[in-house]
Amino acid sequence: MQDVLLQLQKEALDVFLKVQTPEELEAARVEYLGRKGRLAEAMKDLAALDVDARRDAGKIANDVKRTVEASFAATEARIVESAAEDRQAQEWLDVSLPGVVPAVGHLHLTTQAIDEISDIFAHIGFVRSRHPEVDWDYYAFESLNMPKEHPARDEWETFFAEDEGEIALGEKGKIVLTPHTSNGQVREMEKGVLPIRMINIGKCYRRQASARHLPMFHQFEGLMVDTNVSVTELKGVFDYFVKRYFGANRETRLRPYHFRFTEPSFELDISCAVCDGTGKVDGVKCKLCKGGWLELGGAGMVHPNVLKAGGLDPDVYTGFAFGWGVERTMMMRSGINIDDIRTLYKNDLRFLSQF
């Protein structure tokens, strides 16, 4: 009997020693210390012994039970401690590690360009203003010295607003999506605050869609009206903008042109950065420009009829105006070389995230 008990003790201690998880511990407890466990079964056999032998064996049985219970308690403590250590290892937090940076977008490159252009003109006193992008024919054409049915209007592939099948008529003619920002000229004069130094940046719409033309694009329109404004001021403002936006080494020139709402009128050119204004790269004709010059946009002295439409006396006031495409200006500087200008508005993040 004693041998059986001591053998059972040895076996139980071996098992507890190998236990690694709470589940194994519980299984071992049931096996040896449970109500119907091996130790309880062995104790039942004591009843069959005679009194003296039962007393001796009973004493040993109690010793064995205490030893096994002590081993169980020690194993339980060991398991609890190692579980806590595991958890600590898993949950350990290094506060010095860099955090997870949330994805943050940025302004569209056209918006960035508009902000930068506004900022440059603000330095020389041009105040940003906004005028309607859906406007009367009067402001888009008629007040700009383009009477009804004038062929010059054909150059602006205009969208007309329709109202139940009829082209909508307002107080001042048909209603159009503004084909240029020049509709802001007479509107600005009508405010009656002089002198005027306005920079009007807005969306324009034309019936055109190709690799080089967008049905919606942005223009910025400059207008300066005061007494004694001459072409000299126009050239000065143009020079200032070009050197600030494109770089100090860029040259400018005014080339005679014809617009209905300015007289005289000019196309404004800037020197090409690729060939440095020479028109040639390593003796070969420059692929980007025409003879060293790139066309930026149109400008001119405000036509007397336009001043009159704005309620100003052309004998007292003179002014100049210019209008350039934002997308075109921006692409000329950044050297963004895209085959299709429509890429700007396809909202493809692979393209947009580069800027």
Nearer to Zn ion, 231 or 288 (CB): 288
Nearer to Zn ion, 242 or 275 (CB): 275
Nearer to Zn ion, 28 or 275 (CB): 275
**What is the distance between the terminal CA atoms of the chain, rounded to a whole angstrom?**
88
Segment interacting with Zn ion, rule: CB under 5 A, options 70-78, 267-275, 312-320, 346-354: 267-275
CA distance linking residue 30 with residue 262, whole number of Å: 103
Report the nearest approach of Zn ion to the CB of residue 267 (Å). 17
Interface map 190-229 toward Zn ion (x if CB under 5 A): ----------------------------------------
The per-residue b/e assignment along 191-225, b for 16 or more CB within 10 angstroms, e otherwise, is: eeeeebbbbbbbebbbeeeeeeebbebbbbbbbbb
Q: Are β-strands 173-177 and 196-205 bridged in parallel, bridged antiparallel, or unpaired?
A: unpaired
Return the biggest CA–CA distance within the chain. Answer: 141
Report the nearest approach of Zn ion to the CB of residue 122 (Å). 31
Nearer to Zn ion, 78 or 333 (CB): 333
DSSP three-state, residue 63 = helix
CA distance linking residue 150 with residue 140, whole number of Å: 13
Report the nearest approach of Zn ion to the CB of residue 245 (Å). 18
Q: Which amino acid is at 307?
A: L
Nearer to Zn ion, 225 or 275 (CB): 275
Binding residues for Zn ion restricted to 268-287, rule: CB under 5 A: 272, 274-275, 286
Interface map 284-323 toward Zn ion (x if CB under 5 A): --x-xx----------------------------------
With CB under 5 A as the rule, give the number of residues binding Zn ion: 6
Report the nearest approach of Zn ion to the CB of residue 278 (Å). 7
CA distance linking residue 195 with residue 139, whole number of Å: 20
Report the nearest approach of Zn ion to the CB of residue 289 (Å). 3
The distance from CA 54 to its chain's CA centroid, rounded to whole angstroms, is 89
What are the two backbone dihedrals, phi and then psi, of residue 286, each rounded to the nearest 5 degrees?
Answer: -65, 135
Closest to 196 measured CA to CA, from 319, 289, 278 = 319
Nearer to Zn ion, 68 or 294 (CB): 294
**By the rule CB under 5 A, 120 interacts with Zn ion:** no
- Residues β-bridged to residue 170: 173
Report the nearest approach of Zn ion to the CB of residue 337 (Å). 14
Q: Are β-strands 216-226 and 196-205 bridged in parallel, bridged antiparallel, or unpaired?
A: antiparallel
Report the nearest approach of Zn ion to the CB of residue 332 (Å). 12
Residue written as token pair 């082209």: 167
Nearer to Zn ion, 22 or 291 (CB): 291
Nearer to Zn ion, 136 or 245 (CB): 245
CA distance linking residue 157 with residue 205, whole number of Å: 8
Dig out the tokens for 135 from the structure.
């406007």
Report the nearest approach of Zn ion to the CB of residue 279 (Å). 6
User: What residues line the site for Zn ion (CB under 5 A)?
Assistant: 272, 274-275, 286, 288-289
